[in-house]
């Protein structure tokens, strides 16, 4: 059943490969600098590597927007996104898979009554705008540097062309890696919480369920590259090439750098280590990064040749694509749930229990207005959110924290459960600490994490260590999904 439900994600991956591979290798293949077969092999290989090695970063942000918790729901989210992309492409709109998947997740949130995290949404939407702008800035800086080097060192024509050719190949490889790392979240992100995989160790390397999913998504992208991208590459190649080979290379490098910046956890850790502001890891549109870079070079040349209609198209797609995807997702979910009797989401209930109230007090969050709401169970996040907002004026941060505290997750750490957890992806040390919770019952997720933190330092969050905390979040998510299973 899982493979059937995964098919929509694979379809989305296929369409991504068919369309977006042209952004990285279109110039080289379209201008016959690199043979299609060579480009397809490099592209596929590095997309898969990027997805498996660095795909987790952008996937986290997407997960925060809405954790699709049922397989049929995940199937429809990916399917709605894929269908929106297909329809928008038919209508010749510049479409982005990233924007479609975000719309579809919001559609699922609306249908399931889950609360859409406004902070995560704002972060994602702002990157849509920043992405082409940043790409334009990169292109301008890189172009200036390149022209300076060429004129300063009077590089001969044959040498320059040779460098350009290799540079374009390298940019394509880097771009493929970045595309895999950044966009795999669009293809497989919604399946991560519901994937029934266990950790696999091959040649001493352990692959998490998410990495296995990302590998499958990467393969789907590769199939898209091999089967359908040639035609698109030919169109893109001839479309961008009038820029001159050097400028085209700069465009591909800028695009790749932008995608990398929005997906690299290593870069995020480095920035954080140096006390610099971090860049949100969000899936962005590869096509819009390309157009941004082309516009950047156009501006540098005095604004000639900028297609303002394309710019307007991109701006409008920031709104139209998610709206269409959200609507499509909502309608499909309604049919699947009511006509085909499939479970499209697992209801998540909320209750301000005594322990939740104590936690609110400890966390110095508003609590007095919520006393009348105590012990009342709310069927979903939206109802609960409405109730707490009518009881008190809350900021987004406060509301999010209260939702997390009141979310019900009733579990007893029985001997049977602990036995089952042994099959999970946990280390011996982690299992020993989990065993110490035997016989205890919990009502909320945070109770489990707090109990574990009391048992050992390895389960304690570290202030200002984003990477460690994100690693810990991964562990807790795995634990919760294993318990749930």
Partner 1 sequence: MKILRTRTGIEKQVENFLDQVSLSGLIFRQGCEYYLSGKEEDFERKIQEIADCEHKGDDLRRSINEHLYAKTLIPESRGDVMELLENLDSLLDRFKGTLWRFRIEYPEICDEFHYDFKQLINAAIEANEAIVESCRAFFTDISKVSSYLHKVSYWESESDKISIRLQESIFSKKDLRLSHRMQQRDFARSLDKIADRAEDIADRLNIYVIKRNL
Minimum distance, C-beta of residue 161 to partner 1, in the bound complex (Å)? 5
**Packing angle of the helix pair 97-112, 2-30 (nearest 10 deg):** 160
Q: Can residue 308 be called a binding residue for partner 1 (CB under 8 A)? A: no
Of 26-34, 56-64, 224-232, 269-277, which segment contacts partner 1 by CB under 8 A? 26-34
On whether the CB atoms of residues 297 and 250 are closer than 8 A, the answer is: yes
Q: Can residue 33 be called a binding residue for partner 1 (CB under 8 A)? A: yes
Q: Can residue 3 be called a binding residue for partner 1 (CB under 8 A)? A: no
Question: Residue count at the site for partner 1 (CB under 8 A)?
Answer: 24
Q: Can residue 156 be called a binding residue for partner 1 (CB under 8 A)? A: yes
Q: Kindly tell me which of 146 and 481 has the beta carbon lying closer to partner 1.
A: 146
Query: Residue 15: exposed, middle, or buried by beta-carbon count in 10 A (0-12, 13-18, 19+)?
Result: buried
Between CA 148 and CA 162 the distance in angstroms is 18
Q: Kindly tell me which of 154 and 201 has the beta carbon lying closer to partner 1.
A: 154
Scanning residues 322 to 341, which ones bind partner 1 (CB under 8 A)?
Answer: none
Q: Kindly tell me which of 248 and 326 has the beta carbon lying closer to partner 1.
A: 248
On whether the CB atoms of residues 65 and 121 are closer than 8 A, the answer is: yes
Neighbour count for residue 228 (Cβ, 10 Å): 17
**3-class secondary-structure state, position 249:** helix
The β-bridge partners of 412 are 441
Between CA 66 and CA 381 the distance in angstroms is 11
Minimum distance, C-beta of residue 146 to partner 1, in the bound complex (Å)? 8
Minimum distance, C-beta of residue 240 to partner 1, in the bound complex (Å)? 12
Of 1-9, 220-228, 238-246, 347-355, which segment contacts partner 1 by CB under 8 A? 238-246
Minimum distance, C-beta of residue 234 to partner 1, in the bound complex (Å)? 13
Between CA 234 and CA 430 the distance in angstroms is 53
Q: Return the closest-CA partner of residue 288 out of 251, 320, 340.
A: 251
**3-class secondary-structure state, position 187:** helix
Of 16-24, 39-47, 161-169, 459-467, which segment contacts partner 1 by CB under 8 A? 161-169
Between CA 145 and CA 149 the distance in angstroms is 6
**3-class secondary-structure state, position 411:** strand
Q: Can residue 37 be called a binding residue for partner 1 (CB under 8 A)? A: no
According to CB under 8 A, which one of 141, 161, 267, 391 is a site residue for partner 1?
161
Q: Can residue 305 be called a binding residue for partner 1 (CB under 8 A)? A: no
Q: Return the closest-CA partner of residue 182 out of 226, 147, 135, 237.
A: 135
Residue 252 is encoded by which pair of tokens? 């591909």
According to CB under 8 A, which one of 159, 386, 423, 485 is a site residue for partner 1?
159
Q: Kindly tell me which of 306 and 374 has the beta carbon lying closer to partner 1.
A: 306
**Packing angle of the helix pair 308-338, 286-300 (nearest 10 deg):** 170
According to CB under 8 A, which one of 2, 7, 31, 86 is a site residue for partner 1?
31
On whether the CB atoms of residues 24 and 256 are closer than 8 A, the answer is: yes
On whether the CB atoms of residues 405 and 458 are closer than 8 A, the answer is: no
Q: Can residue 299 be called a binding residue for partner 1 (CB under 8 A)? A: no
Between CA 115 and CA 407 the distance in angstroms is 12
Q: Can residue 343 be called a binding residue for partner 1 (CB under 8 A)? A: no
According to CB under 8 A, which one of 162, 276, 361, 415 is a site residue for partner 1?
162
Q: Can residue 141 be called a binding residue for partner 1 (CB under 8 A)? A: no
Q: Kindly tell me which of 223 and 299 has the beta carbon lying closer to partner 1.
A: 299
According to CB under 8 A, which one of 247, 388, 399, 411 is a site residue for partner 1?
247
Q: Can residue 118 be called a binding residue for partner 1 (CB under 8 A)? A: no
Q: Can residue 244 be called a binding residue for partner 1 (CB under 8 A)? A: yes
Of 147-155, 255-263, 344-352, 428-436, which segment contacts partner 1 by CB under 8 A? 147-155
According to CB under 8 A, which one of 3, 154, 201, 341 is a site residue for partner 1?
154
Minimum distance, C-beta of residue 298 to partner 1, in the bound complex (Å)? 14
Q: Kindly tell me which of 154 and 395 has the beta carbon lying closer to partner 1.
A: 154
Q: Which residues contact 10 (CB under 8 A, 6 or more apart)?
A: 187, 216, 217, 220
Q: Can residue 92 be called a binding residue for partner 1 (CB under 8 A)? A: no
Torsion angles phi and psi, residue 412, rounded to 5: -115, 130
Q: Kindly tell me which of 165 and 466 has the beta carbon lying closer to partner 1.
A: 165
Q: Kindly tell me which of 129 and 149 has the beta carbon lying closer to partner 1.
A: 149
According to CB under 8 A, which one of 129, 145, 153, 414 is a site residue for partner 1?
153
Q: Can residue 147 be called a binding residue for partner 1 (CB under 8 A)? A: yes
Q: Establish how many alpha carbons lie within 13 A of residue 158's alpha carbon, considering only the half-sphere containing its beta carbon.
A: 0
Interior/surface letters 340-373, b for 16+ CB within 10 angstroms, e for the rest: eebebbeebbbbbbeebbebbeeeebebeebeeb
Which residues sit at the interface with partner 1, rule CB under 8 A?
31-33, 146-147, 150-151, 153-159, 161-165, 241, 244-247
């Amino acid at each position: 059943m899982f493979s059937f439900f995964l098919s929509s994600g694979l379809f989305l991956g296929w369409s991504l490969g068919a369309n977006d591979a042209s952004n990285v290798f279109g110039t080289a293949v379209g201008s016959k600098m690199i043979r299609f077969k060579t480009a397809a092999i490099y592209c596929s290989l590095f997309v898969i590597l990027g997805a498996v090695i660095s795909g987790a970063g952008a996937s986290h942000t997407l997960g925060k927007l809405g954790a699709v918790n049922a397989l049929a729901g995940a199937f429809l989210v990916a399917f709605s996104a894929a269908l929106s992309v297909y329809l928008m492409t038919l209508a010749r709109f510049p479409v982005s898979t990233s924007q479609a998947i975000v719309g579809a997740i919001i559609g699922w949130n609306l249908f399931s009554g889950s609360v859409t995290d406004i902070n995560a949404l704002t972060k994602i939407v702002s990157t849509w705008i920043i992405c082409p702008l940043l790409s334009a800035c990169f292109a301008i800086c890189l172009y200036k540097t390149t022209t300076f080097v060429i004129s300063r060192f009077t590089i001969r024509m044959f040498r320059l062309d040779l460098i350009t050719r290799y540079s374009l190949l390298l940019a394509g490889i880097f771009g493929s890696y970045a595309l895999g790392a950044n966009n795999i979240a669009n293809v497989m992100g919604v399946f991560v919480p519901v994937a029934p995989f266990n950790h696999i160790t091959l040649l001493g390397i352990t692959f998490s369920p998410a990495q296995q999913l990302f590998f499958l998504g990467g393969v789907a992208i590769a199939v898209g590259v091999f089967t359908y991208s040639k035609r698109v590459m030919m169109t893109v190649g001839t479309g961008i090439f009038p820029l001159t080979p050097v400028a085209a290379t700069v465009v591909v490098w800028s695009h790749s750098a932008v995608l990398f910046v929005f997906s690299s956890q290593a870069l995020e850790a480095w920035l954080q280590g140096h006390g610099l502001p971090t860049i949100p890891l969000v899936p962005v549109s590869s096509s819009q990064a390309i157009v941004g870079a082309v516009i950047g070079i156009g501006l540098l040349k005095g604004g000639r040749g900028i297609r303002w209609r394309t710019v307007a198209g991109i701006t409008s797609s920031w709104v139209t694509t998610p709206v269409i995807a959200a609507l499509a997702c909502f309608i499909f979910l309604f049919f699947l749930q009511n006509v085909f009797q499939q479970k499209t989401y697992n209801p998540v209930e909320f209750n301000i229990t005594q322990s939740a109230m104590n936690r609110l007090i400890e966390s110095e969050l508003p609590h007095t207005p919520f006393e009348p709401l105590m012990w009342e169970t709310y069927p979903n996040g939206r109802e609960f959110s409405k109730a707490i907002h009518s009881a008190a004026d809350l900021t987004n941060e406060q509301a999010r924290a209260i939702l997390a505290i009141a979310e019900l997750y009733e579990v007893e750490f029985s001997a049977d459960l602990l036995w089952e957890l042994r099959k999970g992806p946990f280390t011996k040390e982690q299992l020993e600490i989990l065993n110490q919770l035997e016989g205890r019952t919990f009502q909320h997720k945070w109770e489990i994490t707090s109990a574990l933190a009391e048992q050992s330092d390895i389960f304690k969050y570290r202030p200002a260590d984003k990477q460690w905390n994100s690693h810990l979040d991964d562990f807790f998510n795995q634990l919760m999904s294993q318990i749930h299973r």
